[in-house]
Structure 1
Amino acid sequence: MARSNPFYSHAKDKADALERALIVKAQGQLALDGALDTAIRFRDLQCAIALLDAGANPNFRDANSVSVLGHAIESKCLEAVRLLLRSGADPDCLTNATTPLALSIYEQQFEMMHELLRAGADVNRIGTIRSTPLHIVVEYERDTDLVRLLLNHGADVNAKDSEGLTPLDVAQRNHDTGIVTMLRKAEGHIKSRGLTTPKQKRAPANCRRTRSQ
């Protein structure tokens, strides 16, 4: 990282972090947002807090369309995810065409899944690839506890992916009898009560701004 950036190394203490944040803030919003992204990628929470307090955008996305929240997930830093969500990060903000919830599953960061769901992440939100989080868990993790978690948060058992397959179809293809039973039970519960499953929502191209520029 270029040494002209005050955040090329971890802050020594809170005062150091605040001083650096003020230096960057004087360079404009883009510099402030970029410094936050750097601090998150380097897991420097002290600097990240100072930058957020100085007005950095928790929904900033870099030139590759990766959000700050996405970098926190990829860095496997649970506390950074919690910090960003507390600071107003959109739990549905796309990161390189993938939702944070889907990314947390791909990265096998299951505590982050819980945090995102608690923050209001849409369990049926899809990115460019039309697989819901439930599809991804059934296909790759094959974990009944994670399936149950998503179902308890309203995951659509009848959602279809880009191949026209539902999570149940995927589970049957994988011969996952436990998950097949669980999904059939959830599907039967919906039908018996005359309920409808939620429609899939495509994630917006741009994230919500929660802080002024």
Structure 2
Amino acid sequence: MSVSQQQTQLNAHLLQAAQSGDLARVQAALKAGASVNAADLGRRTALTWAARGDHVSVARVLVAAGADPDLQDDQRNNALLVTGETGSVAMLREVLRARPDLTRTNRYGGTALIPAADRGHLPYVRDLLATTRINVNHVNNLGWTALLEAVILGDGGPIHTEIVRELLSHGADRTLGDKDGITPLQHARQLGYTVMVRLLEASTGQK
């Protein structure tokens, strides 16, 4: 077996181990010389695989070995962006150790904060806002901020209402409307989200 073939095999072992969450195999592959930033055919790295499976201990080892958290796959996902979808606070904290680029965006043009807000990942939103300087007013390809997504794609219940409160307390601009100029408050009114409406009214001073 040639040197390049051996490297390819080691890299494949690392990726498979990260995907399955096999910490011992991950450590063995790295020790044997696997590239920590190796990627599969879809350009998904071991760290991204670990994030998708919420294999926190695996991510910790990969980050310590120098894994690049910003490498994006064919779907424009990377480890940090995946955590915005899964809502794993433990994985978020491991990925943040690698000092990821908070401005990287997914295929919808959104940062990690936006999917977390619309999916109701309240603990994640709180932790991300408290520990980073992520742009709370980033606008995605739909023309929506995290605040708009929490209102429009949320259910108007206690969790999404608390996410709205968190976003506002960290500087979310409630005057930023969607592509049609409809603000979060107007959307909340149209959807009949009474408690959320009161919160947004109090924040804007509107009645």
The TM-score with structure 1 as length reference comes to: 0.68
Note the residue ranges of structure 1 that are not aligned, 5 or more in a row. Answer: 1-22, 190-213
Say whether 1:161 aligns with 2:140. yes
CA distance in structure 1 between the partners assigned to 2:88 and 2:163 by the alignment: 20
Give identity over the alignment, percent: 28
* Greater RCO (CA < 8 Å, at least 6 residues apart): 1
Q: Counterpart of 1:15?
A: none
Alignment of 1:132-151 (within 5 A): 132-143=111-122, 145-151=123-129
By how many angstroms is 1:188 displaced?
7.1
d(CA) in 2 for partners of 1:131, 1:119: 20
Q: Equivalent residue of 1:182, what SS?
A: helix
- In the other structure, the counterpart of 1:186 is 170
Q: CA deviation at 1:49?
A: 1.4
Shift of 1:58: 1.0
Counterparts in 2 of 1:72 and 1:184: CA distance versus 1, 3 Å: closer
Q: CA deviation at 1:127?
A: 2.8
- 1:81 is matched with which residue: 54, 59, 79? 59
What one-letter code is carried by the residue in structure 2 that aligns with 1:92?
Answer: D
Displacement of 1:88: 0.8
Task: Report the RMSD for the aligned CA atoms in angstroms.
Answer: 2.5
Q: Which has the higher helix share?
A: 2
Does 2:38 match 1:55? no
Name the count of aligned residue pairs: 166
Cα pair distance change 1:40/1:161, threshold 3 Å: same
**What is the match of residue 118 of structure 1?**
97
The 2-side partners of 1:48 and 1:142 are apart by 29
Equivalent residues of 1:25, 1:32 under 8 A apart = no
Deviation at 1:24, TM superposition (A): 9.7
Distance change >3 Å, CA 157–CA 75, structure 1 → 2: closer
Provide the C-alpha distance between the structure 1 equivalents of 2:22 and 2:14, rounded to a whole number of angstroms. 9
CA displacement at 1:180 relative to structure 2: 2.4
CA spacing shift, 1:42–1:151, aligned 2, 3 Å = closer
